[in-house]
Chains A and B, each alone.
Chain A
């Protein structure tokens, strides 16, 4: 994220990530928001509820009795033609898991703000990506962010993206690190956002009595496969839409977003690949090492689903050693981002690398610069373990 300020178009505020998302939602003006509370998503929905109670937004809020119903009501509202949003975390994402592939399978433009958190058991309410990784294959677009500013920007971008692509989108922030941390956030003027996102133009809507549609059909052996391939194709198209929207968004905000953020990557021999809030800590570490003359760099993935295999493969082609840092556990397998990076290298036909897998920040564990230094040291020493290493 490039923080160049366009003073005249922005208001600078101190907001936490939850508030930043709520602020973006307010400007987006959803017709319906159906939610169920769970830490650390509550900063979003409580802020929004208060905005509504104070007459700052007209959204119909449904305080449901569970996440399964929260997403179900969102489906109903979206299918009815409304701009429909929700928000969740952790156990909530899994409670509604049954409905998630339904949303994507139906091609409903649903926006779900996620504040990511560890999964039970044991119970832990802190930040990590285990929850969003658990639902990564459900046909939802997943956009990661680093700071509260990204939480704000990504929410606006996500809304436009979902309505343009007909694929549901999750802007994701790291629980607590982003959701509960107050930071400087540049907020756009309401009218600018309003005109940027426009109005939802529903192609099919239950409320269109002149064109009665049937949503949620049964597809037999003879047709289901085709629907799914179509869905995969629609997902692939998201990349193009996303890039386009990022360009447009840069125009109104002065802030650049994109599939990836390459930080001092160009000439880097030793590269860390990762997503989310902890990238900030890595950037500081990169600067420290660069100051010592070490050629280290960071590749931060923003668009995780659909995964930009090709672009990643290209960005990393020149690197000597690569460490992939996942903020999610893997049981009986390698972690998701690591596997996606391996796949990227194969996609790019770049087979020379040994790539190391690290897992950090599980259950809200603090990741310190010292951890990152250790990773870079491993890379420098060519210590590429075949096993996962944990930054505990």
Chain B
């Protein structure tokens, strides 16, 4: 099984361990990820805060490259990239003029037919059936699945899971032996793109999330987005400053949770790279 792969910048830098764990579980479960050659940054929040055309042209180039390289389906683990790529595809499909403008700017042919999967969709589509047989040490923890905003919204475009109270990660967690808790902040934004420029706001928003999860007895937070991860993990000191008493529950990528369940090592999954110690 071969699928196209768009890592995006975060997975190459601050979120290396996400990349490592995605790669590791795919390898263990016999799925080959073929990286799009010569890919570029999707532009993230910065591009569409500043320039609409640019915010479409950057993702469009990625999609065009995938087409050129014969991929009809790509996995995009970063929720932000997944969102930008999907929105771009939708907008270009619905506006011929815009499409022409963008195609002219990037200088590549573009059809818009590539199927874009986020990591959960990829797991559901290709790994769900093979995971149970490979589980060696059940992931027996009560965890809070945190979806963030970019994975489920805008629902009209992404059409992924339920927009309020999504369930797909919860189902995966149950499948590997974990107990997903019911909590109130599954899709509330953590502050995403303001991480560096308004750390104060991010700390506040992320604090709400971490606190609700901890209050309800979660032993870890499970995410599928590098921005959620860095806000909840790397910014923990800032978060703890906002909170009355510090919270030290770790934040794991869903792929790391699966990796642990199917017996992969801490290093293979990059768990040692987290700021909040993974003491599961």
Partners in one complex: no
Q: Give me the interface of A with B, judged by CB distance under 8 Å.
A: none
